[in-house]
């Protein structure tokens, strides 16, 4: 068969009905103990120590089905499913960094990647972490002991874009691995391995799950060595995504393409409408012509998801609260990627250390769901009226 296109992969990957009475979806295996019929089979050592069904924690056919599908979509060697996106980040960092190493992390990275993983877990383990300005090359910040460069593009609060392949070329020149959090784009909108990323991480909690009801992460690697490193660390840390969550991840994946198309359609409508409003200083969405990251986005991405930011003109905290508290369709919640619209106040400048983020006014982050965009715009219009009428 010729290589399949992404929509076909979404439908067919990770499914083996012939192993399961012809039933379309893989079964949900709830398992801890796995039994073996003979001492020989019990003591057998597979070439890859994590191959096959061994014990609940190392995975069941439900876990493997999700991992197989995500691997096919990213075009990698193997995927390791984790119990959340944060777990995927912590495990992958821990797999490739040890005491005395240096890690370079993008300054606009997802907050907990900085505060909980880099500044806490890695620092405690003797890893020196420094940050880099997304607007600048990294050559002068790399050292012989730099083992990891961690990136996210666009960042999930400020939506700044970077030239991923250019950063990867600099990192590889000193032998560092490039780890990318690709949660915003998913494998459908950005193909990290084609831009020389080594290992891709995604919070499957977001668009893969797609229904705001699952915590899940995935790490896709390109080599057996990297698989052993990540899977070994995941196992050592007791990582074990639940079978129902793996099933839900896989079920979400089947409709990822059609959902993302609608997220982009709706988000563009809403972002364009907001762009023309006097209350808004800037819409932060690389899919909008005029966004500083638009050219890079157009060059490297095949679409945009439904998450973007806003910088308001200077308004008081109580005016912003009046706007958000009264929203009818936009709920206030920190996650995203589900079918529903969300809006939160955000403070991207608070934890950056090497690059300036001083917006003209308060920042908001919007996730545009699958509602009718006319209704979302009507809700936002009323919200902006509250913003204007509160001191
Ligand atoms: C960009 C990004 N990466 C990773 C994560 C972490 O994922 P999880 O919430 O599944 O731990 C999040 C969660 O909000 C995120 O926004």
Work out which ligand 1 atom sits closest to the CA atom of 334.
Answer: 14
Q: What is the DSSP string of 250-317?
A: HHHHHTHHHHHHHHHHHHHHHHHHHHT-TTEEEEE-TTSTTSTTHHHHHHH-S---SEEEEEESS--H
Q: Assess whether the C-beta atom of 217 lies below 6 angstroms from ligand 1.
A: yes
Tokens 């061994």: give the residue: 54
Work out which ligand 1 atom sits closest to the CA atom of 84.
Answer: 10
Work out which ligand 1 atom sits closest to the CA atom of 88.
Answer: 11
Q: Assess whether the C-beta atom of 207 lies below 6 angstroms from ligand 1.
A: no
According to DSSP, the residues that pair with 105 across neighbouring strands are: 131, 150
Q: With 90 as the cut, is the pLDDT of residue 1 above it?
A: no
Write out the two tokens for 230.
């990540």
Q: Sorting pLDDT into bands at 50, 70 and 90, what band is 252? A: very high
Distance, CA of 204 to CA of 81 (rounded, Å): 9
CB 220 within 8 A of CB 179: no
Distance, CA of 148 to CA of 78 (rounded, Å): 20
Could you tell me the pTM of the whole model? 0.98
pLDDT, position 140: 97
Q: Assess whether the C-beta atom of 181 lies below 6 angstroms from ligand 1.
A: yes
Residues with active-site annotation:
57, 110, 181, 206
Tokens 């997220």: give the residue: 263
Q: With 80 as the cut, is the pLDDT of residue 261 above it?
A: yes
| 5-39 pLDDT tens trace | 999 999 999 999 999 999 999 999 999 999 999 99
Q: What percent of the chain shows pLDDT beyond 90? A: 98
CB 188 within 8 A of CB 209: no
Burial of 313 (0-12, 13-18, 19+ CB in 10 A): middle
pLDDT, position 55: 96
Q: DSSP letter at 88?
A: H
Question: What is the pLDDT averaged over residues 173-187?
Answer: 98
Q: How far is the CA of 203 from the centre of ligand 1 (A)?
A: 5
Q: Assess whether the C-beta atom of 346 lies below 6 angstroms from ligand 1.
A: no
Distance, CA of 207 to CA of 367 (rounded, Å): 11
Q: How far is the CA of 71 from the centre of ligand 1 (A)?
A: 19
Distance, CA of 242 to CA of 310 (rounded, Å): 36
The per-residue pLDDT of the chain, averaged, comes to 97
Q: Assess whether the C-beta atom of 154 lies below 6 angstroms from ligand 1.
A: no
Q: How far is the CA of 211 from the centre of ligand 1 (A)?
A: 15
C-alpha angle 261-293-155 in degrees, rounded to nearest 5: 75
For the chain, percent helix, then strand, then coil, each to nearest 5? Answer: 40, 15, 45
Q: Assess whether the C-beta atom of 182 lies below 6 angstroms from ligand 1.
A: no
Q: How far is the CA of 90 from the centre of ligand 1 (A)?
A: 11
pLDDT, position 391: 76
Work out which ligand 1 atom sits closest to the CA atom of 87.
Answer: 11
| 117-152 pLDDT tens trace | 999 999 999 999 999 999 999 999 999 999 999 999
CB 359 within 8 A of CB 311: yes
Q: Sorting pLDDT into bands at 50, 70 and 90, what band is 3? A: confident
Distance, CA of 335 to CA of 216 (rounded, Å): 13
Distance, CA of 150 to CA of 107 (rounded, Å): 10
Q: How far is the CA of 77 from the centre of ligand 1 (A)?
A: 23
Q: With 70 as the cut, is the pLDDT of residue 194 above it?
A: yes
| 292-329 pLDDT tens trace | 999 999 999 999 999 999 999 999 999 999 999 999 99
Torsions phi, psi for 6 (to 5 deg): -60, -40
Distance, CA of 93 to CA of 340 (rounded, Å): 31
| 317-373 pLDDT tens trace | 999 999 999 999 999 999 999 999 999 999 999 999 999 999 999 999 999 999 999
Q: Assess whether the C-beta atom of 335 lies below 6 angstroms from ligand 1.
A: yes
Ligand 1 pocket test, pick from 93, 181, 205, 217 with the greatest ligand atom count within 8 Å of Cβ, gives 205
Question: What is the pLDDT averaged over residues 77-89?
Answer: 98
Q: Assess whether the C-beta atom of 84 lies below 6 angstroms from ligand 1.
A: yes
Q: Tell the residue nearest (CA) to atom 8 of ligand 1.
A: 85
Instruction: List, in order of start, the domains of the chain with CATH numbers.
Output: 6-254 (3.40.640.10), 256-388 (3.90.1150.10)
């Amino acid at each position: 068969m010729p290589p399949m296109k992404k929509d076909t992969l979404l439908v067919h990957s990770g499914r083996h009905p012939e192993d399961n009475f012809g039933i379309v979806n893989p079964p949900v295996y709830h398992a801890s103990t796995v039994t073996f019929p003979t001492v020989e089979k019990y003591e057998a050592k597979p070439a890859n120590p994590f191959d096959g069904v061994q014990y609940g924690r190392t995975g069941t056919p439900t876990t493997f089905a999700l991992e197989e599908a995500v691997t096919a979509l990213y075009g990698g060697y193997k995927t390791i499913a984790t119990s959340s996106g944060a777990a995927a980040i912590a495990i992958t960092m821990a797999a490739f960094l040890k005491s005395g190493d240096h890690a370079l992390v993008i300054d606009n990275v997802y907050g907990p990647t900085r505060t909980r993983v880099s500044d806490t877990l890695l620092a405690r383990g003797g890893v020196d972490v420094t940050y880099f300005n997304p607007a600048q090359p990294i050559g002068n910040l790399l050292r012989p002991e730099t083992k990891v460069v961690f990136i996210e593009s666009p960042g999930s609060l400020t939506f700044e874009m970077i030239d991923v392949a250019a950063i990867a070329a600099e990192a590889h020149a000193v032998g560092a691995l490039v780890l990318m959090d690709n949660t915003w784009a998913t494998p459908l909108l950005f193909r990290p391995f084609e831009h020389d990323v080594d290992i891709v991480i995604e919070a499957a909690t977001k668009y893969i799950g797609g229904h705001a009801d699952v915590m899940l992460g995935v790490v896709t690697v390109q080599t057996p060595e990297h698989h052993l490193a990540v899977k070994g660390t995941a196992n050592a840390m007791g990582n074990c995504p639940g079978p129902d969550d793996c099933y839900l991840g896989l079920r979400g994946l089947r409709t990822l393409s059609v959902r993302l198309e609608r997220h982009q359609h709706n988000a563009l409508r809403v972002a364009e409408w907001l762009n023309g409003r006097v209350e808004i200083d800037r819409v932060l969405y690389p899919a909008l012509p005029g966004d500083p990251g638009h050219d890079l986005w157009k060059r490297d991405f095949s679409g945009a998801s439904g998450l973007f930011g806003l910088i308001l003109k200077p308004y008081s905290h109580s005016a912003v609260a009046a706007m958000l508290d009264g929203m009818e369709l936009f709920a206030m919640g920190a996650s995203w990627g589900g079918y529903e619209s969300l809006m939160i106040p955000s403070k991207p400048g608070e934890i950056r250390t090497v690059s300036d983020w001083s917006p003209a006014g308060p920042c908001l982050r919007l996730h545009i769901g699958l509602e009718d965009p006319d209704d979302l715009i009507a809700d936002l219009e009323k919200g902006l009226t509250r913003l204007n009428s509160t001191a």
